[in-house]
Chain A
């Protein structure tokens, strides 16, 4: 564990930039997001949850799969430097671990390389994540429902706490520890620093909402698929898809070609299960033609289907969908609604 005086942090970030392409939370247009920085001063340290999640560092909103021309196919090369992300919050660190199960480990098909996503792997596999504690969680935060907390370190390479005058850095993974050992300029931490961290943690936890026990959620969801609750839940949804775009765990995408004649590129782009066209087949048949079916798909995927495949929920409680929803469809309320729901069609046991 080392500490770096805030006034010396830019020096640390620049040291990091020697070996890594560094991403940090910053202003992007009128919103905040994680972006690749050219100078340490671009990073804003006062943002808790960025408007857009950092998933696009590893799974960009649009990504060229290959270019084609008369000379054949050209696949984008891996960047020379690996990626480091400064200031990621644990909800987002956790979400990347979930996405890695889909894109990286190909857990269900572990034996077959064809199910691993090379574009994800070339960015995520060697990355270094500086996971920062949230001293002041937002009113929309509910990571504590999902075994998270503002000071969680799971999935971090280096855990960072802002103690006012200092940033305290604790190596968590081997990669993280090795990096801190290499950096000679940090100061040693004292007992007072540890006390300060404990105090900050306690304050941060007091910001969090009461924990809702979501253990029964999976089983309950097994029984509500054809229940009228979905009409209630989806009634005000306008299928805008904003929740899926800001969500750090949503990962549906489209593959589309751009070009004219023999020259062009094949691109993948974020897509959304909220859109009718997402599942509409060329014949006109659409298995999820109704808004209710699409809302059910999203909620069931988060709290039931993903659990079935990977034994965890596909949600980290970051609260971005709550912030962004234009009709105030609050996913925390949906969870409570499902838990409290009295089955009409199926037996409760």
Chain B
């Protein structure tokens, strides 16, 4: 059955590649390929959208799509081992068949960002859709102005996509500021929480900014951006909530009259300030 006729039916996907992202093996990145060519053709998405990752017998959990639409044929998800579904995902082996439902939700304002300088601020393993966004912009490099990335993790092990970060660091068309919470032996980049580093980096307030990370990071980074002078409608963030249906019906991801799954997950600060207690 076509997924547009019945959104509850997962699309079958094959686990192509599993990458263990950190020494304690709690973060893994999965490259999934479409089992059916027809599904692959139909599945079009934009950076910022998410899917319900489905393990039959265990259930579903929502994850941002970490691959970029420019990486054809695969969908990438990075999963932290936290609950029963993510535990089961961590048991997967290459070659296994899983299901996904999506793409769901809205996406980062890529059209509006054309020709503009872009600041990306991320924290921890919420860097997934930001990776999608960065890969997309680098693939269409001429469409965008200066790209600045501020990315923080508790310690160096907890960064995801470490090989790509190294590559980006070598390029001169993207500026990368990596920071860890506390000084640690062997780490020669920045130290300090993301809000503090943002203050130090002081990105140009005429640029557009996308912030994605744990709620506490977003909460303290937004005031810094406002202080620097970013326009309210040029700051975007992506919210996370517990979700089930992903299509605005089951009720749990409601914030005010909005549903994170269909009205978001991407919201501008202009929209968010009208919604009570968004994070």
- Structural contact, A65 and B4, CB atoms closer than 8 A: no
- Structural contact, B5 and A118, CB atoms closer than 8 A: yes
Could you say which residues of chain B place their CB within 8 Å of the CB of A34? Answer: none
**Interface residue A113 (Cβ < 8 Å from any Cβ of B):** yes
- The 8 Å CB contact of A266, one of B1, B8, B276, is B8
CB distance from A260 to the nearest CB of B (A): 7
CB distance from B60 to the nearest CB of A (A): 7
Q: Mark B247-278, 1 if CB is under 8 A from A, else 0.
A: 11111101111000010000000000000110
Knowing A225-B276, A264-B56, A305-B254, say if A279 contacts B242 (CB, 8 Å).
Answer: yes
**Interface residue B215 (Cβ < 8 Å from any Cβ of A):** yes
Name the CB-closest residue of A to B240: A281
Most chain A CB neighbours (cut-off 10 Å) among B82, B257, B277: B257
**Interface residue B162 (Cβ < 8 Å from any Cβ of A):** no
Q: What count of chain B residues pass the 8 Å CB interface test?
A: 38
Residues in B49-76 with C-beta less than 8 Å from chain A: 56-61
Of A18-26, A48-56, A202-210, A250-258, the one with at least 4 CB within 8 A of chain B: A250-258
Of A38-46, A186-194, A282-290, the one with at least 4 CB within 8 A of chain B: A282-290
Give bound CA distance, A213 to B9, whole Å.
Answer: 45
- The 8 Å CB contact of A66, one of B9, B61, B245, B277, is B9
Residues in A229-266 with C-beta less than 8 Å from chain B: 251-257, 259-262, 264, 266
- Structural contact, B242 and A103, CB atoms closer than 8 A: no
CB distance from A274 to the nearest CB of B (A): 11
- Structural contact, A114 and B276, CB atoms closer than 8 A: no
- The 8 Å CB contact of B244, one of A106, A113, A255, A262, is A255
- Structural contact, A103 and B249, CB atoms closer than 8 A: yes
- The 8 Å CB contact of B5, one of A68, A113, A253, A304, is A113
- Which interface class (under 10, 10 to 19, 20 to 34, 35 or more) fits A? 35 or more
Knowing A66-B9, A266-B56, A281-B242, say if A271 contacts B247 (CB, 8 Å).
Answer: no
- Structural contact, A273 and B251, CB atoms closer than 8 A: yes
**Interface residue B3 (Cβ < 8 Å from any Cβ of A):** yes
- The 8 Å CB contact of B59, one of A68, A102, A257, A287, is A257
Could you say which residues of chain B place their CB within 8 Å of the CB of A261? Answer: 57
Most chain B CB neighbours (cut-off 10 Å) among A103, A117, A273: A117
**Interface residue B141 (Cβ < 8 Å from any Cβ of A):** no
Could you say which residues of chain B place their CB within 8 Å of the CB of A253? Answer: 244-245, 249-251
Name the CB-closest residue of A to B60: A255
Name the CB-closest residue of B to A286: B242
- Structural contact, B276 and A252, CB atoms closer than 8 A: no
Name the CB-closest residue of B to A259: B57
Give the top 9 A-B pairs by smallest Cβ distance, nearest first. A282-B83, A252-B251, A308-B257, A305-B257, A282-B82, A225-B276, A255-B244, A65-B8, A118-B6
Contacts A/B (CB < 8 Å), 20 sampled: A66-B9, A102-B249, A115-B7, A115-B248, A251-B251, A252-B250, A252-B251, A255-B59, A262-B56, A262-B57, A264-B57, A278-B251, A279-B242, A283-B82, A287-B255, A287-B277, A297-B254, A305-B256, A305-B257, A309-B257
Give 4 A-B pairs besides A255-B250, A287-B241 with Cβ atoms closer than 8 angstroms: A66-B9, A106-B247, A118-B5, A253-B245
By a beta-carbon cutoff of 8 Å, the part of chain B in contact with chain A is: 1, 3-10, 56-61, 82-83, 85-86, 215, 240-242, 244-245, 247-252, 254-257, 262, 276-277
By a beta-carbon cutoff of 8 Å, the part of chain A in contact with chain B is: 65-66, 68, 73, 75, 102-103, 106, 108-109, 113-115, 117-119, 225-226, 251-257, 259-262, 264, 266, 268, 271, 273, 278-283, 285, 287, 297, 300-301, 304-306, 308-309
